Amino acid sequence: MSQNLRASLLISGLALLIYLPFLGAVHLFDWDEINFAESAREMLLTQEYFQVQINYMPFWEKPPLFIWMQAFSMKIFGLNEFAARFPNVICGVLTLLLIYHLGSNHFNERTGWYWVLAYAGSMTPQLYFKTGIIDPFFNLFIFLSIVMIAQAAMLDKKKRKGIYFLGGLFLGLALLTKGPVSVIVVALCIAVVLLLRSFRFYFDLLDVLLFSLSTLMVSFAWYGVEFLRHGMWFFQEFIRYQQELASQSVASHGQPWYYHPVVLLIGAFPASVIALRAFGENLTWNEDQKNFRNWMAVLFWVVLILFSMVKTKIIHYSSLCYLPLTFLAALVMESCHVQRIQYRRSNAVIAALIGFTVAITFFAIPLLLGTSLKTDFIASLRDPFAAANLKQDVSWPWYTFLAGIFMFISTLLAARWLWNRELKKAFPMLFGGTLIALQLFLLLGVPRLEKYTQGPAIEFLEQVQSENAYVETLGYKSYAQYFYGKMMPVEDTTSLRIYCDTTLYRYEGQASRDIPNQQFKGWLMHGKIDRPAYFISKIQSREVFEPQETLEVIGEKGGFVFYKRVN
């Protein structure tokens, strides 16, 4: 058995050991996880695989590739949390294998292992492969496209044609996964590299044509077919939504400009701290390594600056930075190993500060919510919804403190060894300790936290799902009612169509994609419906909906109020 094969099998096994256990131990989270899983569920029910749907209405926000993966997974494992998240486990295995081989090929085997250690042992990079969101595959496809372009830059004209063709294929897959932002990222990276090279082109017209042709060929599998089937209206809504994301804060996701740098520094810890040294020095040995390092640095800065400028800021928008950031961390670790550079003690201090902050957070959550401090903590909250949810009786036994304790001890040991420059012990302890501490928190803490955030609503939905009823939210947006309520499509659409035709004037000035859902909710409350209808609101909205003559309060739990249509 070759060394590469042994390493690949070992990495695959480690990846499955990290990402696979307890994958379905907690419900899917609103919005994104439930959103995509529900689209996959509706695909299977309706057999409509080309047009993405939510509540059996066209969903303009995402192309279907990842949802196809989830639908295939649900075919095998059933309509559950495990199936919705399983595709990203495969993505995690592929990602770790890829970065190991890239690090080994461009530098050496040790760098490949350092890269795997940095990615698997950092917080949000490892967390994302245990979720059911689109971004892991989207990031992987964009990254592969960039890697192909970077590698083609070092080849002669004959050899690079196929590499550019592959780069276009991966960009096409990214387009099918999340949309045109992938083209913007790749184009900006190319533009920045050309600027740094004083516009010395390393591709010709045929290279551009091959890259573009393969991108169009793959993306036509959905974009082209959808255009032929339904014309331009779907794309007009799709493009309008992408413009809104860039130009305004959509769905209350506005944040300050420094949001993503802070998210990366803390969320991608410890790789973020280790990588700091790589931004100020050239840690490469030859032209190939310098070329690869430059592309990684450009990708990092393009993504960070682009999504810091975009008005809508969500934590996973900067997740494409994880790949170049963990590479730069691996490059620092390799440079320290061969004593090309000396690790700075100031970085050890930063690592200790962030590590202890994470440890305190892991420790403080069960302390605040599982002891007598809970009463005072709830009294300090100004949000009635959060306060009502936290009043629920959730057990926090002694072992829920283990994540915080483990994180504190591993950070303490790693910081000491970093300070003393005992790096062969410090790096494995820092990344390995973070990996295990986060796994413990995901297993012991997150299921309990979920009971506070959405637990009562999910519990209610699971109770009524056998009734084949309609379920909707009032006063807030959610996708949980569709997936966990097992909503079926409207069978007799005549009454719904008449209601929509007579109430359209109410929705003037709203985004056209929002109108069908608002009309549907109005029909459930006031129209002629063919089966029972239930509603969920948050506690601060009860004064708005309780006076409705068609609604009867049937329960309340945590911060949620539950209603049933009575006439």
For residue 537, the cross-strand partners are 474, 561
Contact 30, 43 (CB under 8 A): no
What are the pLDDT digits (tens) for 235-275?
A: 666 666 666 655 555 554 557 778 889 999 999 999 999 99
pLDDT of residue 197: 80
Separation between Cα atoms, residue 67 and residue 65, nearest integer Å: 5
Q: Over the chain, what is the mean pLDDT?
A: 88
| pLDDT of res. 412 | 96
Q: What is the pLDDT of residue 249?
A: 54
CB 145 within 8 A of CB 170: yes
Higher pLDDT, 385 or 500: 385
| Strand (E) or helix (H) holding 534 | strand 533-538
The Cα-based distances of 122 to 112, 145, 192, 247 in angstroms read 16, 24, 28, 31
What pLDDT band is residue 84 in, cutting at 50, 70 and 90?
Answer: very high
Answer yes or no: is pLDDT of 507 > 60.
Answer: no
What is the reported pTM?
0.92
- In degrees and rounded to multiples of 5, residue 78 shows phi and psi of 95, 175
Q: Confidence class of residue 2 from pLDDT cuts 50, 70 and 90?
A: confident
More confident residue, 206 or 352: 352
Contact of 545 with 474, CB cutoff 8 Å: yes
Strand pairing report for 551-557 and 560-565: antiparallel
Q: What digits encode the pLDDT tens for the residues 180-201?
A: 889 999 999 999 998 888 666 6
What long-range pairs does 390-393 form, CB within 8 A, spacing at least 24? 390/452, 391/558, 392/451, 392/452, 392/455, 392/456, 392/557, 392/558
Phi, psi torsion values for 345, nearest 5 degrees: -70, -25
User: Cα dist. 53→41, 83, 494 in Å?
Assistant: 10, 19, 20
Q: What is the pLDDT of residues 372-415, one digit of tens each?
A: 888 888 888 888 998 899 999 999 999 999 999 999 999 999 99
Q: Among 11-15, 239-243, 458-462, name the one with the lowest average pLDDT.
A: 239-243
CB distance 99 to 107 below 8 Å: no
Mean pLDDT of 485-500: 82
Angle at 70 between CA 68 and CA 73, to 5 degrees: 110
Residue-level pLDDT at 463: 92
CB neighbourhood size of 53 (10 A): 20
The domain limits of the chain are: 3-258, 346-453, 455-565
**Cα gap 520→167, rounded to integer Å:** 43
Q: What is the largest CA-CA distance in the chain?
A: 77
Percent of the chain with pLDDT over 70: 92
What's the pLDDT at 233?
A: 67
How far apart (Å, rounded) are the C-alpha atoms in residues 203 and 152? 9
Residue closest to 481 by CA, chosen among 442, 527, 526, 520: 520
- pLDDT for residue 201: 66
Q: What is the pLDDT of residue 246?
A: 57
User: What is the C-alpha to C-alpha distance for residues 360 and 407, in angstroms, rounded to an integer?
Assistant: 9
Q: Is the peptide bond before 31 cis (omega within 30 degrees of 0)?
A: yes
Assess contact for 469 and 532: CB atoms under 8 A: yes
Residue 5, both tokens = 């094969």
Q: How far is CA 121 from the centre of its chain?
A: 17
Strands 470-474 and 560-565 turn out to be: unpaired
Give the pLDDT of residue 378: 87
pLDDT in tens, 105-162: 999 999 999 999 999 999 999 999 999 999 999 999 999 999 999 998 887 777 787 8
pLDDT at res. 495: 79
pLDDT value for 100: 97
Within 8 A by CB and 6+ apart from 138, the residues are: 66, 174, 177, 178, 182, 320
- Please tell me the distance from the alpha carbon of residue 154 to that of residue 160, in angstroms, as a whole number: 8
Pairing of strands 533-538, 560-565: antiparallel
88 CB-near residues (< 8 Å, 6+ apart) = 19, 128, 129, 130, 131, 132, 133, 136, 137
Q: What is the pLDDT of residue 270?
A: 96
What's the CA gap between 72 and 55, in Å, rounded? Answer: 20
Residue 124, number of CB atoms within 10 A of its CB: 20
Does pLDDT of 349 surpass 90?
A: yes
* Residues near 405 by beta carbon (within 8 Å), at least 6 away in sequence: 359, 363
The pLDDT assigned to 172 comes to 96
Tokens at 253, concatenated? 């996701």
